[in-house]
Amino acid sequence: MAFSDYRTALVTGASSGIGAATVRRLCAEGLTVHAVARNAERLEELAAETGCKPHPVDVGDSAAVERLIDAIEIDVLVNNAGQSRRGNILDTTPEDVDALVDINLRAVLHLTRLVVPGMAQRNRGHVINISSIAGHYAFPGGNTVYHATKAGVHSLSQQLRVDLFGKNVRVTEISPARVETEVFGRLLGDLAEAKRRFFDDYDSLQPEDLANAIAFVVDAPARMNVAFMEVLPTQQVVGGLNFAQRKTPTTS
């Protein structure tokens, strides 16, 4: 299987960042790409640029997603939409928990259950889940709920391969580290400040890097499934060990 074996793709979180770059790349490869995101204006601009099919749909709206999937046949599904929040489990809110679980995990599960049976029936397809290094590593400053949801995407990707055993349907998980997208600006509420703090002095990944990674796994020969790809900037590493020093009681 390669681009020539597929006709259609669906990309979530398509209005910016990795999603928009992926839409551009897959359209350039000749696929009919259904671009899904909440921002209708940006989708229309992307459609004018690339010829993609815009669908202003919130992936958290399961009924709307089901109506969309009922109307189209998908060969390549790119589960990319995601959100994050500041803070950790010590100061998170119920709203933050629900929002991250709904978009980062529940929506991915619903899209997968709606799309994959058709792939299995046609014996043709490719599911690409964009997770994060946060799903595999714990590190200071990470949002606990975000880490948990991305770990869920990792587990889903592993089990999905088992569920599709014997079918010509491939499952790829791509796990990026820091990518220069708007997510940090949304967290801070200031895109310019996020650019200054996180990107100006760093060689971060670009959305196009991930789009190229997606193109690579899709274009691989039928005998080859890139099951897992961890993509980091050359100057970023994961890991590290912290050890809190025991506090000595003070005497009065």
Residue type, 202: Y
Give the dihedral of Cα atoms 67, 80, 49, 114; nearest 10 deg: -20
Residue type, 1: M
H or E, element range at 228: strand 228-231
Under DSSP, is residue 45 helix (H, G, I), strand (E, B) or coil?
A: helix
Dist CA 68 CA 58 (whole Å) = 11
Under DSSP, is residue 191 helix (H, G, I), strand (E, B) or coil?
A: helix
Paired with 128 in beta bridges are 78, 172
Q: Is 146 a catalytic residue?
A: yes
Instruction: Determine contact, residues 171/164, Cβ cutoff 8 Å.
Output: yes
Dist CA 215 CA 143 (whole Å) = 29
Dist CA 180 CA 200 (whole Å) = 10
Q: Which of 6, 137, 146, 202 is catalytic?
A: 146
What are the catalytic residues? 146
